[in-house]
Amino acid sequence: MTGRRAGSALLTGGLLLTLLATGCGVRPSDVITGRSATTGPAAGVDIYLLSHGRLALVIRETKERSMVSPEKTLGMLAAGPDESERSQGLVSEVPAGLVPASPVKPNLDGSGVTVTMTGAVLPLTAAAADQIICTLADALAPTGQGDSFSPVTIAGPDGARPPRPCPIK
């Protein structure tokens, strides 16, 4: 009897361990594929698009080997997602053609930066403003003009939005 009890306890323990190991709450998912690996020196700029309404960092490849200006980076954002990005479900709420009207300038009081855009900025959605702010913050970091915590003021012919840092930094 003792041998049977020990065997039964061992079997029960093994089943319990199996149940615990398989029931850890991790759900199976499909394979998640990425882009092909870059070859040679990486050349790209960070822009923020939207995936299911949330900011998503995208590294947009460029042919330029030197640093791309913040103004040109915002121009890439205003062009919207490319075909590959759209096929991944990425979208943008930044109106096409909304680009800087002049170079990005640090505020005189040291409270961040201001970007003056070519079109109206007050009707921008919060997501569109965040796309601009986060894209600009990443573009400015290597220049020393700002960092991801610096507040960005978006101005246009219709006024200016309150300064705001990138919400995901």
Give the tens place of pLDDT for each residue, 115-151: 999 999 999 999 999 999 999 999 987 765 555 568 9
Give all strands of the β-sheet with 152-156 in edge-to-edge order. Answer: 105-106, 113-116, 152-156, 159-160
Domain definitions of the chain by residue range: 44-160
Q: Using alpha carbons, select from 47, 48, 84, 42 the residue that is nearest to residue 64.
A: 42
Q: Are 155 and 121 in contact (CB under 8 A)?
A: yes
Q: Are 166 and 130 in contact (CB under 8 A)?
A: yes
Per residue in 8-21, pLDDT (tens digit) is 666 666 555 555 55
Per residue in 58-115, pLDDT (tens digit) is 999 888 767 789 999 999 999 999 999 999 999 999 999 999 999 888 888 878 899 9
The four Cα atoms 145, 157, 160, 79 give a dihedral, to 10 degrees, of: -60
Pick the CATH number of 44-160 from 3.40.630, 2.40.160, 3.10.20, 3.30.300: 3.30.300
